[in-house]
Amino acid sequence: MPPPRERIHDIALLAEHFAGIVVEQNGWKPRAFAPDALQELARYAWAGNVRELRNIVERLLLLTGRRDRRCDVRQVLPGRRANTSGEAGSGTLADRVAMFERDVVLQELAAHGHRVAETARARGLERSHLYKKCQQLGIDLKTERTQP
C-alpha cells in the first residue's frame, strides 16, 4: 500500500476508518472530524506509512473530548507538538505526559520490530513491566504488530 503522501485523496477516508476502529476498541461514543481537521491531515507531509496516520488519529481521539478540529490536529502532528503560539495545551498535564510516554514506547517497539522481549531487554526493563506499561498506555500490541 502506498504511503499517505501518495494517496492524499484517501486520507480523510482512512482517518475516519481508523477512528472507527479506535472508538470500537475502547468502547467510546462515535467521534467526527471537522472538515478543517481533515484538510489539515491532508496538508501534512506524511513521511511514514498508514500506521503513522493511524497513530495520529488515535492521539487525536485520546487528547480531545469533542469534535476534532484543525487546532487539535496541529497539536498532535509530529514536529508541531511544541506550543509556540501561546495557546493553552490540549488535555491535562497527566494526559499529555501519558501521550509522550506512549509515543516513546511505540517508537522503541518499532525500533525493535515490535518484539516486546527485545525492547524490554534493550531498555533495561522486565518484560512483564513493559507489557503492563503498554496496557496502562492503551497500546494494543497485537494491533501494532499487524499494522502495515
Q: How far is CA 45 from the centre of its chain?
A: 16
Q: What is the 3-state secondary structure (H, E, C) of the chain?
A: CCCHHHCHHHHHHHHHHHHHHHHHHHCCCCCCECHHHHHHHHHCCCCCCHHHHHHHHHHHHHHCCCCECHHHHHHHCCCCCCCCCCCCCCCCHHHHHHHHHHHHHHHHHHHCCCCHHHHHHHHCCCHHHHHHHHHHCCCCHHHHHHCC
Local confidence band at 147 (pLDDT 50, 70, 90 cut-offs): low
Grid cell of 67 as nine digits: 469534535
Which residues lie below 8 Å from residue 105, measured CB to CB, with a gap of 6+? Answer: 130, 133, 134, 137, 139
Model confidence, pTM: 0.53
pLDDT digits (tens, 9 = 90+) for 7-62: 888 999 999 999 999 888 888 888 888 888 888 888 888 877 888 888 888 888 87
Q: How far is CA 102 from the centre of its chain?
A: 9
The identity of residue 147, as a single letter, is: Q
The identity of residue 31, as a single letter, is: R
What is the structure's pLDDT at 62? 78
| CATH code that applies to domain 92-148 | 1.10.10
User: What does pLDDT average to over the chain?
Assistant: 79
pLDDT digits (tens, 9 = 90+) for 123-135: 888 999 999 888 8
Q: Which CATH number fits domain 1-82: 3.40.50.720, 1.10.8.60, 3.10.150.10, 1.10.443.10?
A: 1.10.8.60
Q: Where are the domains of the chain?
A: 1-82, 92-148
